[in-house]
Structure 1
Amino acid sequence: MISNVTLIVLDSVGVGELPDASEYGDEGSNTVSNILKTVKNVQLPNLSKLGLGKIDSVHGLDSPENVIGCYGKSKEKSKGKDTTTGHWEISGIILDEPFPTFPNGFPSEIIKKFEKSIKTKILGNKVASGTAIIEELGEKHMETGYPIVYTSADSVFQIAAHEDIIPLNRLYEICKIARELLQGQYGVGRVIARPFIGEKGKFTRTSNRKDFSIEPIGETILDKIKSSEYEVMAVGKIEDIFSGRGITKSMHTEDNMDGVDKTIEFMKMHKKGLIFTNLVDFDMKYGHRNDPENYAKALEDFDRRLPEIMNNLNNDEVLIITADHGCDPTTESTDHSREYIPILIYGEKIKKDVNIGVRETFADIGETILDLLSIEKLKNGTSFSKKILK
């Protein structure tokens, strides 16, 4: 029996366009392969040992002769390509309809209700890059005190505010107000607090971002594991994505390496259950900013920490590394891309060099985790535990 699974989501590290990518304007997207093609001499020896280079849509990464993990990739069955959709599907919720998006900004009736509720006007209300909009409206925000509202191609209602103008507790409060308003046809996947500091020309977003996701619409593997009296330990924005549901312990993070540190901190406890980590820098700092060089460096930084993660596994524990969508920094788009996600599995009780193939849904990961932990499955996917267990 497996006592614990550590599941690490490398946010946006996709491995090639899905068959329906054209419906999302994402033809040609392949986050990992296009980075390897664009940035020369990227070194990912430890991910290669787990089998990343043997996934058929990953190009430009040599594979060692002795691969020590199992590997494969998965399609996304849900409609959409955002963070909440991806994580929910991994956990067993498959969405028939995507979360709503607002390419022309939010309707005036919603904005008016929001302004009335927070007792102040807002700036923005348009599709924009987070760094660009604070450069455009940051000074006016500081003059007026009005929060900046913006969105993207994803289902998000983002609120930016300077920490000296709108303190964090107030920013989080108005995000909660927005979350309560944005339901039904306006029910975006996430309301996101985007605090920043600095002065005109030198504005910088801080690590105090907070996501306010819509509550999961069905039972998840987190609920199943918690109800079995096991621990569900969340690292990064996992707690936010699931609105705290099904989680027993959580730690937020400042960056990827802090996320690795806190994952290892949980691993050293060797509690029965699940450690669920999101490493967001790939997506937030580099994918959306079309920065392949620093995206590649972030991959190398994680790769260097991978042996430390693996060495903290007990003999009855398993590591799974995956993603939630793509965000190819080499394309013109600055938004998420509709891509396959990689699946890499490692542990003392896991076979070596086994291809689990192309999974039909991200939910196969969640079903496998429940199977490994000997917990009743949700039956929204197909477990691959028999393929990987020795």
Structure 2
Amino acid sequence: MKRAAIIVLDSLGVGELPDAQLYGDKGADTLGHIAREYPQLSIPNLQALGFGNVPGAAGERFAVDKPAGAFGKLREKSKGKDTITGHWEIAGLYTEVPFKTYPDGFPGEFIEKFEKAIGRKVLGNYSASGTVIIEDLGPEHEDTGRPIVYTSADSVFQIAANTDVIPLEELYHICETAREMLQGDWSCGRVIARPYVLENGKRTRTADRKDYAVSPPSATMLDHTAALGKETYAIGKIRDIFDGRGITKSVHTVSNMDGVDKTIEALNMDFEGLIFTNLVDFDSKYGHRRDPEGYGKAIEEFDRRLPEILAAMKDSDVLFLCADHGNDPVHSGWDHTREHVPVVIAGKEVRENVDLGIRDSFADIGATVCELLGAEKTAIGESFLSEIKR
């Protein structure tokens, strides 16, 4: 029984891509800058697998002599640095035209029609940090019932609301309306519901975030795996990123550690196919909020759980750890950064101390998974299965 498990350490980039300056990301290095700003960073279990041996990762400060897994660094072939582009490329899709962004806010014509469609005026409509904008506009939203809309450097239309003012199901319906409207000339990669609560004078976003993404334009690793009658088990926001396409089962998560718990639960089940997990806290709680110490502690928290993940794996399971973009917590602004991502592969059938070097696409992961599972080859990507298998 063959099974692959991919865990995306959301935004854990390992250094700028050659074209990073085109994205305003010259010098970005998520892991390197976390290690510099949080010098006590301790990741012994990741080190043991070869995470610190990824070429150039944190200056190879965490390298070990004989890592137990295979390791490498991946370039992003697609144009962009957003969540959808990164995950779609991992799964074998190339995005040639970046998703449309709205750095100056969404067009007035769209906002007017959107307000008419939902029966409410809106607040905001500019690029902002989600935690900042709910503090800036929260009081007016709570007084008027007008939802807060905002964007970022990504192709996103985010809608924030206090769930005591706009109930969660109504917020989701508002987002669904936006998703239907953001097509064609107003195209947008994702609409994101950003509910929050006000408790003891503090506004806190809840775990009821929901993403409404466009559907992948062609078949991915998920479709090819499902076509064989195998399980494709999505954990966290994976289902939303792929708009449910090619996914046979999905579960929601409320935190990184909940994502780890649900991954271990899936590994303990008996099925053949793919487990695909996203751990979003790295990105949403620490990268976007420019908190290198918090990011470092979150990596350590994951590192402490890694032995449990490995212990739950069956003899033929293969684990892939990777990222989908960078989010350098010392970079200017609060958006993603265009970086290489790491890949570390482990399992009893994986050779030790295999240096995969620097590879041309995130899609090499998807291509390798498809070969491992006997599925149709992805549209892009080169499998490295022959290099890592015993």
Matches within 5 A, 1:285-324: 285-324=285-324
Using the TM superposition, give the Cα deviation of residue 113 of structure 1 relative to its aligned residue in structure 2, in angstroms. Answer: 1.3
Residue 47 of structure 2 corresponds to which residue in structure 1? 48
Q: Distance in 1 between matches of 2:5 and 2:15?
A: 24
Matches within 5 A, 1:19-168: 19-58=18-57, 59=59, 61-168=61-168
1:135–1:201 contact (8 Å) kept in structure 2: no
Aligned residues: 389
Q: Distance in 2 between matches of 1:61 and 1:331?
A: 21
Please state whether the residue corresponding to 2:194 is helix, strand or coil: strand
Using the TM superposition, give the Cα deviation of residue 19 of structure 1 relative to its aligned residue in structure 2, in angstroms. Answer: 0.2
Residue 342 of structure 2 corresponds to which residue in structure 1? 342
1:283–1:327 contact (8 Å) kept in structure 2: yes
2:93–2:379 contact (8 Å) kept in structure 1: no
Deviations 1:64-97, CA, capped at 9 Å, x for gaps: 3321000001100111000000001111111111
Using the TM superposition, give the Cα deviation of residue 48 of structure 1 relative to its aligned residue in structure 2, in angstroms. Answer: 0.7
Residues 60, 40 of structure 1: CA spacing in aligned structure 2 closer, same or farther, 3 A cutoff?
Answer: farther
Residue 17 of structure 2 corresponds to which residue in structure 1? 18
Residue 326 of structure 2 corresponds to which residue in structure 1? 326
Residues 80, 200 of structure 1: CA spacing in aligned structure 2 closer, same or farther, 3 A cutoff?
Answer: farther
1:55–1:73 contact (8 Å) kept in structure 2: yes
Paired residue type of 1:296: G
Matches within 5 A, 1:248-259: 248-259=248-259
1:100–1:185 contact (8 Å) kept in structure 2: no
Deviations 1:319-354, CA, capped at 9 Å, x for gaps: 000000000001222110000010000011110000
Q: Distance in 2 between matches of 1:185 and 1:241?
A: 21
Q: Distance in 2 between matches of 1:285 and 1:270?
A: 33
2:53–2:64 contact (8 Å) kept in structure 1: no
Using the TM superposition, give the Cα deviation of residue 245 of structure 1 relative to its aligned residue in structure 2, in angstroms. Answer: 1.0
Q: Distance in 2 between matches of 1:62 and 1:180?
A: 47
Using the TM superposition, give the Cα deviation of residue 116 of structure 1 relative to its aligned residue in structure 2, in angstroms. Answer: 1.1
Q: Distance in 2 between matches of 1:60 and 1:167?
A: 48
Residue 281 of structure 2 corresponds to which residue in structure 1? 281
Q: Distance in 1 between matches of 2:295 and 2:320?
A: 21
Q: Distance in 2 between matches of 1:321 and 1:348?
A: 15
Q: Distance in 2 between matches of 1:270 and 1:278?
A: 21
Residue 8 of structure 1 corresponds to which residue in structure 2? 7
1:138–1:200 contact (8 Å) kept in structure 2: no
1:139–1:200 contact (8 Å) kept in structure 2: no
Residue 178 of structure 2 corresponds to which residue in structure 1? 178
TM-score norm. by structure 1 comes to 0.98
Q: Distance in 1 between matches of 2:275 and 2:90?
A: 14
Instruction: List gaps (5 residues or longer) in structure 1.
Output: none
Q: Distance in 1 between matches of 2:333 and 2:139?
A: 27
Residue 194 of structure 1 corresponds to which residue in structure 2? 194
Please state whether the residue corresponding to 2:56 is helix, strand or coil: coil
Please state whether the residue corresponding to 1:6 is helix, strand or coil: strand
Using the TM superposition, give the Cα deviation of residue 189 of structure 1 relative to its aligned residue in structure 2, in angstroms. Answer: 1.1
Q: Distance in 1 between matches of 2:52 and 2:312?
A: 24
Residue 380 (structure 2) pairs with residue 376 (structure 1): no
Percent of aligned pairs with the same residue?
55
Residue 351 of structure 1 corresponds to which residue in structure 2? 351
Using the TM superposition, give the Cα deviation of residue 358 of structure 1 relative to its aligned residue in structure 2, in angstroms. Answer: 1.2
Please state whether the residue corresponding to 1:356 is helix, strand or coil: strand
Q: Distance in 2 between matches of 1:335 and 1:379?
A: 29
Deviations 1:79-125, CA, capped at 9 Å, x for gaps: 10000000011111111110011111000111111111111111110
TM-score norm. by structure 2 comes to 0.98
Instruction: List gaps (5 residues or longer) in structure 2.
Output: none
Paired residue type of 2:38: V
Paired residue type of 1:46: N
Using the TM superposition, give the Cα deviation of residue 218 of structure 1 relative to its aligned residue in structure 2, in angstroms. Answer: 1.0
2:257–2:302 contact (8 Å) kept in structure 1: yes
Using the TM superposition, give the Cα deviation of residue 185 of structure 1 relative to its aligned residue in structure 2, in angstroms. Answer: 3.2
Q: Distance in 1 between matches of 2:90 and 2:326?
A: 15
Please say which of residues 186-195 and 200-209 is displaced more in the overlay: 200-209
Q: Distance in 2 between matches of 1:8 and 1:199?
A: 33
Using the TM superposition, give the Cα deviation of residue 201 of structure 1 relative to its aligned residue in structure 2, in angstroms. Answer: 4.7
Please state whether the residue corresponding to 1:250 is helix, strand or coil: strand
Matches within 5 A, 1:230-245: 230-245=230-245
Deviations 1:183-235, CA, capped at 9 Å, x for gaps: 12322111000000015851111111000011111111111111110000010
2:351–2:388 contact (8 Å) kept in structure 1: yes
